[in-house]
Amino acid sequence: MDVFLTAAARSLHRSVLDEAAPSARWLCLGDDGTLRDESSGEELDIRTATPEVAWMTTDLVDGGPMRPFFGLVTRSSSLRWLQSSAAGFDAPVFGELVRRGVRLTASHIAGPPIADFVLRAALDHLQDADAWRAAAARHEWDPHELVEMGSTRWLVIGLGTIGREVAVRARAFGAHVTGVRRSPVGDEPVDAMARPDEVPGLLPESHVVVLATPANAGTVHLVDEDFLRHMRADAVLVNVGRGALVDEGALLPALDEGQLARAVLDVTETEPLPADDPLWDHPKVVVTPHSSALGDGRRRRAAEAFVENVRRYVGGEPLLHEVTVDDIDA
Amino acid sequence: MDVFLTAAARSLHRSVLDEAAPSARWLCLGDDGTLRDESSGEELDIRTATPEVAWMTTDLVDGGPMRPFFGLVTRSSSLRWLQSSAAGFDAPVFGELVRRGVRLTASHIAGPPIADFVLRAALDHLQDADAWRAAAARHEWDPHELVEMGSTRWLVIGLGTIGREVAVRARAFGAHVTGVRRSPVGDEPVDAMARPDEVPGLLPESHVVVLATPANAGTVHLVDEDFLRHMRADAVLVNVGRGALVDEGALLPALDEGQLARAVLDVTETEPLPADDPLWDHPKVVVTPHSSALGDGRRRRAAEAFVENVRRYVGGEPLLHEVTVDDIDA
């Protein structure tokens, strides 16, 4: 079994990979785009390499050899399985692969840092930390009351790995958490579950609204004029899903009219957000550069998830988090 | 039983107070300093009033009639019991009352908002949210990695109401929490307990160090040169106890030398912090104006705590959180 991955990922996770697939041949892509068979040390022609498995690690998108990696992946007729280290699969390349018969698995490893991010964003809003920062810049001692988490109600839209991690944390503060999911499993760590069609009725009592759901045909512009009209004037909207979930053209007027108090957007409709976008300077908007998943534990968890699936692949067992054509079209 | 309190507190909590002490006479102090017997509506001479019980509520310090309140409390020879809505009793007036034989009870009601504050402060540091805010101000999309809470170790010095609430929240994120207390009770919600003399040995592995202990002769300048020398270069110190716990003269050089990464001070040695104090502008210091206890649930919890003690007082049972001369001298 030939496994295609970056030299950086191979080097970082050598021992766990060897344990999971002792007889694999590792085709390692260097930062300079050269491909090597690790066992022989021989340089391979990337145009004729025939990997069976490919592992797409996050170093590829963090300045790694992304272009040669996807070149081989999209060209290869030998490829049987690609594991991504991301949860989302809305980039067109994934749809093409799945339709071509390549198995695709996603990784749901970003829950902890994204949930940490959401909690910081909510606490920052509830405590109006902006006012403390502004007063400190003026050297002014100006106390104000803060809203306790324990008195808030949360609406978490999407109860996958991320939504669950958010719910566990928020409830430890005493918040009341309602989770929204099309098909509840029954073990969600929340106070209540609701269906997507119940969201408008729940918004008027929700102080914190979290978007942690994938973008697909059914969720694009989920947050539109109508959604925003149902929100509380003191509510904060936190989007850690995809930029497409929010109609930014509807969001800014809603903030201006006081239909909600604040929006924290770690994802935007256009990324990177253009320098002249009005979101940057809006006093009720906080933009962060799609960073909530960039936790320092993500590489370790990505390796654990790949190792588990390699074990399953070698043993002929079902793979975890396999993405189907139906998921792509959902 | 004559109970002395502000008219504002009486009005806000009338029904629960009546339930706890149906036969009490309520001596209500208005914002203008006039005292009235609520049942007769009669104005009383505050110089000759003889309350048995006094309830010191937080509205007194938030712009209420503090001076006439303490005037009567310190003058009165009829006073048997004063309940404060604060946890601290380091103000000299409390020592004088206790030595005079007046029973003093404190209220431990600030745990939830203070713990919320500590978690925000720690998350803000671990995620380096300052960098996101600065980049957004420049309209720059500049992602960075964040430290996940789950990979951090916390040292919480003081495991009273506040320390416990901090520990419960931090552990929901997966953090490892060690609590420090002279006399552990055994039910502390932490991963490990340690004695005060073990602190220097624990500092080199602690990413978040929280001060949530009272100021007394044994804890003044607990954080001194030696303490700071044992800290991690990436650690954040969060002080929600008392300003006197930290030697600010030692803190600034330690920050400059990189002995720790950041200090978040909700309390300072001098309060309000003077406008020319170097803490305001230090790039590694965050000052907030002694606000972490100002949660929007504090009045409700203060009333619940007083009502419970009134019930006990009327029934001759031991009062909760009674402060003794030994506590004052500790």
Sequence ranges of the domains in chain B: 2-109+296-329, 111-287
- A127 min Cα distance to partner chain B (Å): 8
What is the SS3 assignment for B305? helix
Q: Is the predicted pLDDT of residue B232 greater than 90, yes or no?
A: yes
Average pLDDT, chain B: 96
Determine whether B290 is an active site residue.
yes
- Average pLDDT on A201-225 reads 95
The pLDDT score that the predictor gives to residue B278 is 97
Interface confidence: ipTM more than 0.95: no
The pLDDT score that the predictor gives to residue B329 is 79
Q: Is the predicted pLDDT of residue B58 greater than 90, yes or no?
A: no
Structure tokens at A102: 């390549």
The answer, for B123 touching chain A at a CB cutoff of 8 Å, is: yes
Asked if B116 lies within 8 A of A141 by C-beta distance, the reply is no
The pLDDT score that the predictor gives to residue A178 is 98
Q: Is the predicted pLDDT of residue B330 greater than 80, yes or no?
A: no
Asked if B117 lies within 8 A of A146 by C-beta distance, the reply is yes
- 8 A C-beta contact, residue A267 and residue A240: yes
* Residues of A catalogued as catalytic: 242, 271, 290
Cα three-residue angle B252-A296-A241, rounded to 5 degrees: 115
Query: Of the ranges A163-172, B138-147, B179-188, which one carries the lowest mean pLDDT score?
Result: B179-188
The answer, for B168 touching chain A at a CB cutoff of 8 Å, is: yes
Residue A231: pLDDT band (50, 70, 90) is very high
B111-287 CATH choice from 3.40.1350.10, 3.30.70.20, 2.60.40.420, 3.40.50.720: 3.40.50.720
The pLDDT score that the predictor gives to residue B89 is 84
CB within 8 Å of B217: residues ≥ 6 apart: B329, B330
Average pLDDT, chain A: 96
> Which tens digits make up the pLDDT trace of A252-300?
999 999 999 999 999 999 999 999 999 999 999 999 999 999 999 999 9
DSSP per position, B131-151: HHHHHHHTT------B--GGG
Which residues in chain B (185-214) have CB-CB distances under 8 A to chain A? Answer: none
A11: Cα separation from own chain's centroid: 25
Q: Which residue has the tokens 């404190």?
A: B106
Measured N-to-C along each axis, helices B92-99 and B66-75 cross at an angle, to the nearest 10 degrees, of: 20
Which CATH topology does A2-109+296-329 take?
A: Rossmann fold (3.40.50)
Q: Is the predicted pLDDT of residue A209 greater than 90, yes or no?
A: yes
The pLDDT score that the predictor gives to residue A131 is 98
- Average pLDDT on B137-164 reads 97
The pLDDT score that the predictor gives to residue A188 is 95
> Which tens digits make up the pLDDT trace of A119-144?
999 999 999 999 999 999 999 999 99
Q: Is the predicted pLDDT of residue A87 greater than 90, yes or no?
A: no
The pLDDT score that the predictor gives to residue A58 is 87
Residue B99: pLDDT band (50, 70, 90) is very high
- Of the residues B59, B62, B123, the best mutation for testing chain A's interface (the one with the most A CB atoms within 10 Å of its CB) is B123
Would you mind telling me the total number of residues written for chain A in this entry?
A: 330
**Listed residue (B210, B328, B189) closest to B263, CA to CA:** B210
- Average pLDDT on A187-198 reads 97
B177: Cα separation from own chain's centroid: 20
Which residues in chain B (131-150) have CB-CB distances under 8 A to chain A? Answer: 132, 135-136, 139-150
Residue A63: pLDDT band (50, 70, 90) is confident
The pLDDT score that the predictor gives to residue B91 is 86
> Which tens digits make up the pLDDT trace of B282-319?
999 999 999 999 999 999 999 999 999 999 999 999 99
> Which tens digits make up the pLDDT trace of A24-41?
999 999 999 999 999 999
The pLDDT score that the predictor gives to residue A32 is 94
- B86 min Cα distance to partner chain A (Å): 16
The pLDDT score that the predictor gives to residue B164 is 97
- B190 min Cα distance to partner chain A (Å): 14
The answer, for A120 touching chain B at a CB cutoff of 8 Å, is: yes
Which residues in chain B (260-299) have CB-CB distances under 8 A to chain A? Answer: 271-273, 275-277, 280-281, 286-292, 294-297
- Of the residues B61, B288, B294, B296, the best mutation for testing chain A's interface (the one with the most A CB atoms within 10 Å of its CB) is B288
Q: Is the predicted pLDDT of residue B81 greater than 80, yes or no?
A: yes
The answer, for A61 touching chain B at a CB cutoff of 8 Å, is: no
Structure tokens at A111: 């829950």
Asked if A129 lies within 8 A of B124 by C-beta distance, the reply is yes
Q: A127: which chain B residues are within 8 Å (Cβ-Cβ)? A: 116-117, 120
**Listed residue (B133, B293, B60, B238) closest to A144, CA to CA:** B293
Report the C-alpha gap between A72 and A68 in whole angstroms.
6
Report the C-alpha gap between B179 and B167 in whole angstroms.
8
- Average pLDDT on A43-55 reads 96
The pLDDT score that the predictor gives to residue A61 is 82
- Average pLDDT on B193-206 reads 97
- Average pLDDT on B82-105 reads 92
- 8 A C-beta contact, residue A14 and residue A303: no
Of A127, A273, A295, the CB nearest to B116: A127
Q: Is the predicted pLDDT of residue B127 greater than 80, yes or no?
A: yes
The pLDDT score that the predictor gives to residue B293 is 95
Asked if A173 lies within 8 A of B169 by C-beta distance, the reply is yes
Q: Is the predicted pLDDT of residue B165 greater than 90, yes or no?
A: yes
The pLDDT score that the predictor gives to residue A213 is 94
Q: Is the predicted pLDDT of residue A162 greater than 90, yes or no?
A: yes
Asked if B127 lies within 8 A of A144 by C-beta distance, the reply is no
Which residues in chain B (89-118) have CB-CB distances under 8 A to chain A? Answer: 112-113, 115-117
Buried b (16+ CB within 10 A) or exposed e, B93-107: ebbebbeeebbbbbb
Q: Measuring CA to CA, how many Å separate A251 from each of A247, A278, B323? A: 6, 11, 53
Fold match flag (A2-109+296-329 vs A111-287): yes
Residue A245: pLDDT band (50, 70, 90) is very high
Q: B119: which chain A residues are within 8 Å (Cβ-Cβ)? A: 119, 123, 173
Cβ-based contacts under 8 A for chains A and B: 151
Q: A115: which chain B residues are within 8 Å (Cβ-Cβ)? A: 173
- A186 min Cα distance to partner chain B (Å): 21
Percentage of chain B exceeding pLDDT 90: 92
Q: Hey, how many other C-beta atoms are within 10 angstroms of the C-beta on B61?
A: 12
The one-letter code for the residue type at A212 is A
- A48 min Cα distance to partner chain B (Å): 36
Asked if B146 lies within 8 A of A112 by C-beta distance, the reply is no
Q: Is the predicted pLDDT of residue B97 greater than 80, yes or no?
A: yes
Of B117, B141, B296, the CB nearest to A289: B141
Percentage of chain A exceeding pLDDT 70: 100
- 8 A C-beta contact, residue A197 and residue A176: no
